[in-house]
């Protein structure tokens, strides 16, 4: 049986380690804080992140990756920590180790997808991406969940076999670009639906933001090389739905606070964990402008988060934009056919 290491003892890394250990896999959970790991060993619980979830007896815990012998390493750290984590891990892991990245974001500054970051730091490492609608709080409590693993298909199928359990269903997709971008960009829209909630708006507003937000995600994603069908799948619309509607979502909670008029530093302190959508908004805004992609929701999110625009004003400006076809590309093709 393949030995698995999960690097990152936050909520998602812990949840994955728990379900895999309960399924009988040989799993080691690696944290970056020795004191916190010692406390988890003592309590058999990860109090800051997953209270009331018992850590199985067969789940090993350590803060030292040295000497680690694992054929598969699941990387579960914030997106902006991926580069430093790979630099650390590659000196401790044997050649041929498979990396499975679970972070959902884009690297600030470089605007790279995280698989590109990993490839820069560890050229040639076998790499897969795990994404989809999967709140750690529910996965750890054995609630049925479906996710997708993206890699070349032979590797994706190996990871599928390794991670699948009766309550954790894994699909495969060869479109790494689309899966990564869907998982990253939906966090922007989740912040926006949270802002709408904070302003006291209702379901109509949320549905509009999710639907038109998906159009933006797909537009930018396809321009960057993703398959449009991927954005209709688990890492696209699936993750969008769960992140925009659940109070487990840090991004939605942050948006609610922003909509209530709280400043960003206070919002981030209140959430207490990394809100990936904040930095992703900045990266996506810059990428959209550079590629001349229409992303009005992302642009208003950027103005609210980074330029201090009043959220209610941002909504009004979105509503008063010039008239559009719902499916611009389809309308353009129809017009072109008529002009032939």
- If asked whether residues 163 and 293 sit together in one domain, one would say no
Catalytic residue among 22, 104, 186, 206: 186
Residue 201: exposure state from Cβ atoms within 10 A (0-12, 13-18, ≥19): middle
- If asked whether residues 166 and 257 sit together in one domain, one would say no
**Which pLDDT does position 94 carry in this prediction?**
83
Tens digits of residue pLDDT in 94-131: 888 999 999 999 999 999 999 999 999 999 999 999 99
Q: 194: pLDDT confidence band, cut at 50, 70 and 90?
A: very high
Tens digits of residue pLDDT in 203-241: 999 999 999 999 999 999 999 999 999 999 999 999 999
Would you say residue 103 lies in a domain?
yes
Q: Which of these three, 174, 193, 216, is where a domain ends?
A: 174
Q: Which of these three, 174, 195, 222, is where a domain ends?
A: 174
Q: 337: pLDDT confidence band, cut at 50, 70 and 90?
A: low
- 271 vs 280: CA distance, rounded Å: 17
- Report the DSSP pairing between strands 145-150 and 127-131: antiparallel
Active site residue 186: yes
- 102 vs 113: CA distance, rounded Å: 12
Would you say residue 340 lies in a domain?
no
Would you say residue 29 lies in a domain?
yes
Structural domain harbouring 48: 3-174
- If asked whether residues 135 and 253 sit together in one domain, one would say no
Q: Which of these three, 174, 209, 237, is where a domain ends?
A: 174
CATH code: domain of residue 97: 3.40.50.720
**Which pLDDT does position 180 carry in this prediction?**
98
- If asked whether residues 232 and 149 sit together in one domain, one would say no
Tens digits of residue pLDDT in 41-96: 999 999 989 999 999 999 999 999 887 789 999 999 999 999 999 999 998 888 88
**Which pLDDT does position 323 carry in this prediction?**
87
Would you say residue 145 lies in a domain?
yes
pLDDT at residue 2 tops 90: no
- 163 vs 25: CA distance, rounded Å: 9
**Which pLDDT does position 69 carry in this prediction?**
83
If one counts the domains in the chain, the total is 2
CATH code: domain of residue 267: 1.10.1040.10
- If asked whether residues 116 and 234 sit together in one domain, one would say no
- 11 vs 45: CA distance, rounded Å: 11
CB 309 within 8 A of CB 303: yes
Residue 231: DSSP 8-state: G
Pick from 97, 87, 73: nearest CA to 16: 73
The dihedral built from the CA positions of residue 227, 232, 233 and 235, taken in this order, carries a sign that is positive
The dihedral built from the CA positions of residue 191, 193, 195 and 197, taken in this order, carries a sign that is negative
- If asked whether residues 144 and 241 sit together in one domain, one would say no
CB 29 within 8 A of CB 97: no
Q: What is the rounded average pLDDT for all residues in the chain?
A: 94
């Amino acid at each position: 049986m393949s030995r698995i290491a999960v690097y990152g003892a936050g909520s998602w890394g812990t949840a994955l380690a728990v379900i895999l250990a309960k399924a009988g896999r040989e799993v080691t959970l690696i944290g970056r804080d020795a004191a916190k790991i010692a406390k988890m060993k003592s309590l058999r619980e990860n109090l800051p992140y997953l209270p009331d979830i018992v850590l199985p007896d067969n789940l090993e815990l350590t803060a030292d990756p040295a000497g680690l012998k694992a054929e598969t390493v699941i990387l579960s750290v914030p997106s902006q920590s991926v580069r430093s984590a790979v630099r650390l891990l590659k000196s401790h892991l044997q050649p041929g180790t498979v990396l499975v990245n679970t972070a959902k974001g884009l690297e600030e500054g470089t605007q790279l997808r995280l698989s590109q970051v990993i490839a820069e730091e560890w050229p040639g490492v076998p790499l897969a991406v795990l994404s989809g609608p999967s709140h750690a709080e529910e996965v750890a409590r054995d609630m049925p969940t479906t996710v997708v693993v993206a890699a070349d298909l032979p590797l994706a199928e190996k990871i599928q076999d390794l991670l699948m359990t009766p309550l954790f269903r894994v699909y495969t997709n060869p479109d790494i670009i689309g899966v990564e971008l869907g998982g990253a960009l939906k966090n922007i829209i989740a912040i926006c639906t949270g802002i709408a909630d904070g302003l006291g708006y209702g379901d109509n507003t949320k549905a509009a933001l999710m639907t038109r937000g998906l159009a933006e995600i797909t537009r930018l994603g396809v321009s960057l090389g993703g398959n449009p069908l991927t954005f209709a799948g688990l890492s696209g619309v699936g993750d969008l739905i769960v992140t925009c509607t659940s109070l487990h979502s840090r991004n939605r909670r942050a948006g609610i606070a922003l909509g209530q008029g709280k400043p960003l530093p206070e919002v981030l302190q209140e959430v207490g964990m990394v809100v990936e959508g904040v930095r992703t908004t900045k990266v996506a805004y810059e990428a959209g402008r550079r590629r001349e992609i229409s992303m009005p929701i992302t642009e208003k999110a950027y103005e609210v988060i980074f330029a201090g625009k009043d959220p209610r004003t941002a909504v009004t400006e979105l509503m008063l934009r010039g008239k559009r076809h719902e499916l611009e590309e389809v309308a353009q093709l129809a017009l072109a056919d008529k002009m032939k």
